Amino acid sequence: MDGVKVVASEALQEVRFKVLWPHLSSAEEAVIDIDKSDGAVHLASYLDGEVVGVASLFNQQCERYPDVFPKKNAYRLRAMGVLDSVRGSGVGAQIINRAVQLLKEKEVEVLWCDAREVAWGFYLKQGFKFAEDCDGYECEAYEVSNVGLHKMMYFYIT
């Protein structure tokens, strides 16, 4: 493992395409609205000089459930993915750990994401909770077109 580095968003496109959005026609289409935004942080995990895991972070309150974290300094985790060839090797955990380290420096209180059903177990192992675990709040699973079932999850940064 070569480590997790802060990079330009373009470095994430190939892994995003392969892991998250293979229905797109090319890696060049694997962009999200925050890629060029001021304050967005893009992380890439490298192995032997190749990007094997990716994630993006952005200062954003939870729009879907705004009352879940009122008045919190919140960041959203988006477009996180790890290549199948290294899944289960700790790459994803290292990305989350680096994200939390960076966000602590910014005095961020909570990291949240719209987690795919296939990743719920991973996020739970990293200490994330479902929004429904927050003071009895109800959080319904919801479908994202071409992607699948999601639920909002969060992690308090201490």
Which domains does the chain carry? 3-156 (3.40.630.30)
φ/ψ of 16, rounded to 5, equals: -55, -45
User: In this predicted structure, what is the pLDDT of residue 142?
Assistant: 64
- SS3 helix, strand, coil % of the chain, rounded to 5? 30, 35, 40
CB 143 within 8 A of CB 149: yes
User: In this predicted structure, what is the pLDDT of residue 149?
Assistant: 81
Structural element, H or E, at residue 57: strand 50-59
Distance CA 53, CA 44 (A): 6
Integer angstrom CA distances of residue 34 from 38, 41, 42, 56, 100: 8, 9, 10, 8, 19
Structural element, H or E, at residue 41: strand 41-47
Positions of the chain with pLDDT under 70: 1, 67-68, 70-71, 133-139, 142-143, 146-147
Cα dihedral across residues 139, 142, 144, 146: positive or negative: positive
Structural element, H or E, at residue 111: strand 110-116
CB 80 within 8 A of CB 92: yes
